Amino acid sequence: MNTNQIQIKFLNTKEVKSNDSFLPEYATSGSSALDLKACISKKIILPAKEVVLVPTGISIYIENPYITALILPRSGLGHKDGIVLGNLVGLIDSDYQGELMISLWNRSVKDFFIYPNNRIAQIVFVPIIRPKFSIVKKFKKTARFKSGFGHSGI
């Protein structure tokens, strides 16, 4: 198993039309995440303050249990148009093989239009640590101990 190879399958071949325009792709050579695109045949209206599920037309199979994929919002859509993910972050387990569906939430007061092949989210692959837990009666005390929520100042 090559840890840098992820299997990808086209699900909506009618929309893909035997080209790779719906494939996730890196926008630049320095991009950490690949852009995911709307695999739709006509525009979708995302009403103000509403959530819509948008198909990508692809499924992936990561296979390696020490890798996961995170679906993240595109910063420009969030900042300029108020379009973020309905679940804030999507987590794709290594054994999931269903279609990647993107839950888009329009936080703005204006309707937003999604067109075929629009870049709607991004996917990044990250390593996973699967720890084993040991039950203890108490922890070794640290300087921080139980301090949280603003303990280090603003």
Q: Do the annotations mark residue 87 as ligand-binding? A: yes
Question: Does residue 145 sit in helix, strand or coil?
Answer: coil
User: Rounded to an integer, what is the distance from CA 115 to the centroid of its chain?
Assistant: 19
Q: Do the annotations mark residue 93 as ligand-binding? A: yes
Length of the chain: 154
Intra-chain end-to-end CA distance of the chain, in Å: 46
Q: Do the annotations mark residue 86 as ligand-binding? A: no
Q: Do the annotations mark residue 92 as ligand-binding? A: yes
* CB count in 10 Å sphere of residue 82: 17
CA pair distance 111, 107, nearest whole angstrom: 10
Binding residues: 74-76, 87, 91-93
Binding residues for substrate: 74-76, 87, 91-93
